């Protein structure tokens, strides 16, 4: 028989030891409530990690909980009242307080909840054993499903019957792998993984936003590639996001981000990791359009869609035998950030495909990144108004055409021609009205 009883103790630290937190618990206690930390914060405290969000479970009904906090002068925001969640804010700290609850009906996506005062029932509706850890303000731990032991051996284990728990909320499949990427040690729990494989089709009914958020959390883990490989192996990703399949390239990109380069300016970048993982059967413009469609289907922001589709195409322009002039030309067109993304993607692509590196190759990639780091975008030293002032062509399309010729000439000469040189060049290269569509003469 599972019971909800004290099982251990930890020494509160960080936010758990803050005066603000003591004030919060005291306000709830004054109204006769019992409140305990739950979920990630207890898990992270057991691992002595930095503590993130503070989730608190409380046996007071949401309206009484709100009143108790307000009475103590604490600011409280009804963030999810119908689910029983309010957010309390004291100074720089914020706390999510959720009334103990049970899921009454579930349909694989949403749950209808009822409030309860039974701690064990609240624990049972949580997903994994180590996510059902509770802790009193003084550090007394309640661990009804032996979650701490699972945490110590890196086992992500469903509470109850895995298949049933997945059918209640299919997003738990992605959570299973996400928590494994952060806390797991191979092998995966076989029963859980098999239940995920069987249930994967249910993920198709989960909203794109929830899937996107989970995927991004997963991609923020230090080394998610192996876990993502498992998600492909257990037919989870192929069912919802078949485009996310390039594990070898992701593996190199994550190694670059976390080990080889370890540069704070580069950092762990979930969108870049997703681009590394993305493969399209299309080529050229169609591949770019495919990438944009994919990013939009995950409800990414316009900026993210743009960056994602650029990353999945621009790396093809980059190779590690480019000379500095060519590097600067790409930097000019892409800008430093997009160029860096392209180099990292190209490096990942190349290393994923080649059996062994060519000597000096990594130094070449590094050199390109250093160029990006030092890049100060120069400006073309002539403008449309210079053309008008010198009456080279009348206002209109010829002006833009002449400017593009000048820019091409300037780039061809490594951005060294100055204003006078470009004016002279343009005076010699006035396009004919009817040859507007001719390509510039001098090309590589
Ligand atoms: P982190 O915030 O570090 O990502 P967390 O464990 O706090 O990790 P949250 O998503 O914040 O995760 O959820 C808080 C707690 O709520 C979890 O620990 C878990 O007990 C429960 N929970 C969250 N989502 C689900 C779900 N889909 N099914 C069951 N329980 C869940
Ligand atoms: Mg949390």
pLDDT in tens, 209-235: 999 999 999 999 999 999 999 999 999
Nearest ligand to residue 172 Cα: 1
The CATH architecture to which 6-153 belongs is: 2-Layer Sandwich (3.30)
Residue 414 CA to ligand 1 centre (angstroms): 54
pLDDT of residue 360: 86
In three-state form (DSSP H/G/I as H, E/B as E, the rest C), the secondary structure along 223-266 is: CCHHHHHHHHHCCCHHHHCCCECCHHHHHHHHHHHHHHCCCCCC
Write the residue with the smallest CA distance to atom 1 of ligand 1.
Answer: 40
Nearest ligand to residue 57 Cα: 1
The residues facing 94 across adjacent strands are 89
Class of domain 159-241 (CATH, top level): mainly alpha
Is the distance from the beta carbon of residue 269 to the nearest atom of ligand 1 less than 6 Å? no
Is the distance from the beta carbon of residue 171 to the nearest atom of ligand 1 less than 6 Å? yes
What does the block give as tokens for 194? 């098999």
Q: Which long-range contacts (CB under 8 A, 24 or more apart) does 393-399 make?
A: 393/430, 393/431, 397/436, 398/430, 398/431, 398/433, 398/436
Per cent of the chain over pLDDT 90 is 89
More confident call, 142 vs 262: 142
Residue 278 in this model has a pLDDT that exceeds 90: yes
pLDDT of residue 434: 61
Write the residue with the smallest CA distance to atom 28 of ligand 1.
Answer: 127
| Model pLDDT for residues 40-56, shown as the tens digit of each residue | 999 999 999 999 999 99
3-state secondary structure of 296: helix
Mutate to test the pocket of ligand 1, among 47, 126, 183 (most ligand atoms within 8 A of CB): 126
Distance separating alpha carbons of residues 298 and 158, to the nearest angstrom: 27
Residue 443 in this model has a pLDDT that exceeds 70: no
- What do you get for the CA distance between the two ends of the chain, in Å? 78
For residue 409, the surrounding DSSP H or E stretch is helix 397-412
Contact 173, 236 (CB under 8 A): yes
Distance separating alpha carbons of residues 348 and 328, to the nearest angstrom: 21
pLDDT of residue 216: 98
pTM value is 0.92
What is the strand order of the sheet 35-38 is part of?
6-9, 140-142, 134-135, 35-38, 54-58, 93-99, 85-90, 75-80
Residue 129 in this model has a pLDDT that exceeds 70: yes
Contact 183, 154 (CB under 8 A): yes
Residue 131 CA to ligand 2 centre (angstroms): 9
Residue 441 in this model has a pLDDT that exceeds 70: no
Q: How confident is the model at residue 437 (pLDDT cuts 50, 70, 90)?
A: low
Q: How confident is the model at residue 418 (pLDDT cuts 50, 70, 90)?
A: very high
Is the distance from the beta carbon of residue 131 to the nearest atom of ligand 1 less than 6 Å? yes
Mutate to test the pocket of ligand 1, among 131, 135, 157, 219 (most ligand atoms within 8 A of CB): 131
| Model pLDDT for residues 280-295, shown as the tens digit of each residue | 988 888 999 999 999 9
Mutate to test the pocket of ligand 1, among 36, 38, 39 (most ligand atoms within 8 A of CB): 39
Is the distance from the beta carbon of residue 127 to the nearest atom of ligand 1 less than 6 Å? yes
Distance separating alpha carbons of residues 43 and 39, to the nearest angstrom: 6
Distance separating alpha carbons of residues 116 and 101, to the nearest angstrom: 5
Nearest ligand to residue 85 Cα: 1
More confident call, 1 vs 194: 194
Write the residue with the smallest CA distance to atom 22 of ligand 1.
Answer: 126
CA 238 to chain centre: 19
Domain ranges for the chain: 6-153, 159-241, 243-377, 384-442
pLDDT of residue 217: 98
CA 151 to chain centre: 24
| Model pLDDT for residues 86-101, shown as the tens digit of each residue | 999 999 999 999 999 9
pLDDT of residue 439: 53
Distance separating alpha carbons of residues 142 and 30, to the nearest angstrom: 22
For residue 184, what are the contacts with CB-CB under 8 A and spacing of at least 6? 154, 155, 156, 227
User: Which atom of ligand 1 is nearest to 53's Cα?
Assistant: 2
Nearest ligand to residue 183 Cα: 1
In the block, which residue shows the tokens 């992605």?
174
pLDDT of residue 328: 96
Nearest ligand to residue 176 Cα: 1
| Model pLDDT for residues 319-373, shown as the tens digit of each residue | 989 999 999 999 999 999 999 999 999 999 999 998 777 778 899 999 999 999 9
3-state secondary structure of 110: coil
For residue 411, the surrounding DSSP H or E stretch is helix 397-412
Is the distance from the beta carbon of residue 169 to the nearest atom of ligand 1 less than 6 Å? yes
Distance separating alpha carbons of residues 1 and 141, to the nearest angstrom: 18
Residue 122 CA to ligand 1 centre (angstroms): 12
């Amino acid at each position: 028989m599972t019971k909800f009883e004290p099982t251990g103790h930890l020494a509160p630290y960080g936010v758990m030891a803050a005066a603000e937190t003591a004030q919060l618990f005291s306000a709830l206690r004054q109204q006769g409530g019992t409140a305990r930390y739950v979920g990630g914060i207890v898990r992270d405290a057991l691992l002595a990690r930095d503590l993130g969000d503070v989730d608190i479970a409380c046996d007071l009904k949401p309206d009484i909980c709100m009143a108790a906090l307000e009475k103590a002068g604490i600011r409280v925001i009804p963030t999810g009242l119908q689910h029983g969640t309010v957010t309390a804010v004291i100074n720089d700290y914020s706390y999510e307080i959720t009334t103990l609850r049970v899921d009454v009906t579930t349909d694989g996506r949403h749950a209808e909840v009822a409030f309860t005062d039974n701690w064990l029932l609240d624990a049972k509706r949580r997903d994994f054993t180590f996510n059902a850890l509770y802790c009193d303000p003084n550090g007394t731990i309640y661990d009804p499903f032996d979650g701490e032991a699972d945490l110590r051996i890196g086992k992500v284990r469903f509470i109850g019957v895995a298949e049933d728990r997945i059918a209640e909320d299919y997003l738990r499949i992605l959570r299973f792998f996400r928590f494994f990427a952060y806390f797991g040690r191979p092998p995966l729990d076989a029963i859980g993984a098999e239940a995920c494989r069987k249930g994967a089709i249910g993920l198709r009914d989960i909203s794109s936003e929830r899937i996107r958020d989970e995927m991004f959390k997963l991609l923020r883990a230090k080394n998610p590639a192996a876990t993502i490989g498992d998600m492909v192996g257990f037919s989870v990703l192929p069912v919802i996001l078949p485009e996310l399949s390039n594990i070898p390239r992701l593996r190199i990109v994550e190694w670059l981000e976390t080990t080889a380069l370890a540069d704070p300016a580069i950092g762990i970048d979930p969108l870049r990791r997703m681009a590394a993982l993305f493969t399209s059967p299309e080529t050229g413009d169609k591949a770019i359009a495919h990438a944009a469609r994919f990013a939009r289907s995950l409800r990414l922001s316009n900026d993210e869609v743009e960056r994602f589709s650029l990353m999945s195409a621009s790396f093809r322009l980059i190779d590690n035998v480019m000379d500095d002039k060519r590097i600067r030309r790409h930097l000019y067109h892409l800008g430093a950030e997009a160029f860096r993304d392209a180099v990292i993607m190209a490096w990942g692509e190349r290393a994923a495909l080649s059996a062994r590196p060519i000597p000096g190759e990594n130094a070449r990639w590094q050199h390109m990144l250093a160029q990006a780091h030092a890049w100060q975008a120069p400006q073309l030293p002539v403008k449309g108004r210079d053309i008008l002032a010198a009456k080279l062509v009348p206002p209109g399309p010829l002006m833009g055409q002449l400017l593009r010729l000048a820019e091409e000439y300037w780039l061809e000469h490594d951005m060294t021609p100055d204003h006078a040189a470009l004016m002279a060049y343009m005076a010699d290269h006035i396009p004919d009205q009817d040859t507007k569509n001719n390509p510039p003469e001098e090309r590589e």
